[in-house]
């Protein structure tokens, strides 16, 4: 496969299939279901593609997340896997599992506990395990607009660059998130700031934006932009990485 053919296959795959996890900061806010009624709700995204010409290109994307709410209690569970490989080159190879429990203390304050396992081999993140807790504050909630802020404590264990970098970190995970919805359009953005508690020069800034267009009662078309700036990436990984993504989403 020549370079032009390889590039064409890669861009076709990215355009046709949504891979929602590309950076090292996971935007859980984009995974919340904005319903306040008791019960279960979920969403799944699944795609698989094999292209064979002079060489083989394989792509796989799996996302399943479920939410259960009962009065002041809410449970959120998410699993995500994304993979694109052409010949012997991995363009995308990452995944994570996230579990979060929320308790609504008052109309404006919610306490959250979470744990997460994650990897991103293209960005040399062999594995990362997180656990944390903290308050989430509702600043404004209207019919077509929601605004929340949070400042959580997060303990982080991560292994990078083929086991050569091992860290045990205490971080703050603060964020601002908002959502605007009109008719069949819905726009959301979340921006994170995650510094080390003992060294604020070591930090991550991540921004995640998504535009959802309702096609039917169960299908949405989604366009998103994800950006990450990390001051302490492994050698060979740029401090700034970003991705433009799009695809279909099925709600159930």
In this prediction, residue 176 carries a pLDDT of: 94
Question: Rounded CA gap, 147 and 138, in Å?
Answer: 6
Q: What is the pLDDT along the chain (252 residues), one digit of tens a residue?
A: 444 444 444 444 444 333 434 455 655 555 555 566 788 888 777 777 787 777 788 888 888 888 899 999 999 998 888 888 887 777 788 888 899 999 999 999 999 999 999 999 988 999 999 999 999 999 999 989 999 999 999 999 999 999 999 999 999 999 999 999 988 899 999 999 999 999 999 999 999 898 988 888 778 888 888 899 999 999 999 999 988 888 777 666
Radius of gyration for the alpha carbons in the chain, expressed in angstroms and rounded: 19
In this prediction, residue 96 carries a pLDDT of: 87
Regarding the domain delimited by 3-251, which CATH topology (the fold level of the hierarchy) does it fall under?
Porin (2.40.160)
In this prediction, residue 28 carries a pLDDT of: 56
Max intra-chain CA distance, the chain: 61
In this prediction, residue 62 carries a pLDDT of: 83
Within 10 angstroms of residue 51's Cβ, the number of other Cβ atoms is 14
User: H/E element holding 70?
Assistant: strand 56-70
Report which DSSP code applies to 8.
H
To the question of pTM greater than 0.85 for the whole model, the response is no
**Domain extent listing, the chain:** 3-251
Tokens 């050698």, residue located: 235
Token pair listed for 100: 């979060």
In this prediction, residue 46 carries a pLDDT of: 79
């Amino acid at each position: 496969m020549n370079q032009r053919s390889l590039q064409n296959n890669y861009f076709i795959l990215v355009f046709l299939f949504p891979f929602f996890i590309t950076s090292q900061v996971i935007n859980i806010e984009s995974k919340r279901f904005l319903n306040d009624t008791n019960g279960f709700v979920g969403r799944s995204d699944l795609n698989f593609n094999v292209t064979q010409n002079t060489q083989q290109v394989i792509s796989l994307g799996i996302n399943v997340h479920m939410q259960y709410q009962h009065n002041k209690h809410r449970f959120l569970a998410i699993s995500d896997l994304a993979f694109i490989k052409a010949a012997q080159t991995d363009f995308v190879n990452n995944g994570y599992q996230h579990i979060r429990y929320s308790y609504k203390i008052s109309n404006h304050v919610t306490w959250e506990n979470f744990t997460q396992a994650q990897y991103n081999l293209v960005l040399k993140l062999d594995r990362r395990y997180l656990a944390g807790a903290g308050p989430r504050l509702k600043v404004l909630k209207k019919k077509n607009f929601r605004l929340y802020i949070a400042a959580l404590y997060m303990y982080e264990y991560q292994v990078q660059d083929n086991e050569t970098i091992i860290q045990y970190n205490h971080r703050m995970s603060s964020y601002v998130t908002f959502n605007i919805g009109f008719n069949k359009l819905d726009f959301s953005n979340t921006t994170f700031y995650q510094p080390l508690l003992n060294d604020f020069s070591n930090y991550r800034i991540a921004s995640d934006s998504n535009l959802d267009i309702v096609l039917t009662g169960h299908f949405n078309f989604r366009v998103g932009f994800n950006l990450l700036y990390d001051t302490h990436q492994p050698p060979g990984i740029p401090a700034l990485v970003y991705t433009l993504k799009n695809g279909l989403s099925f709600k159930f």
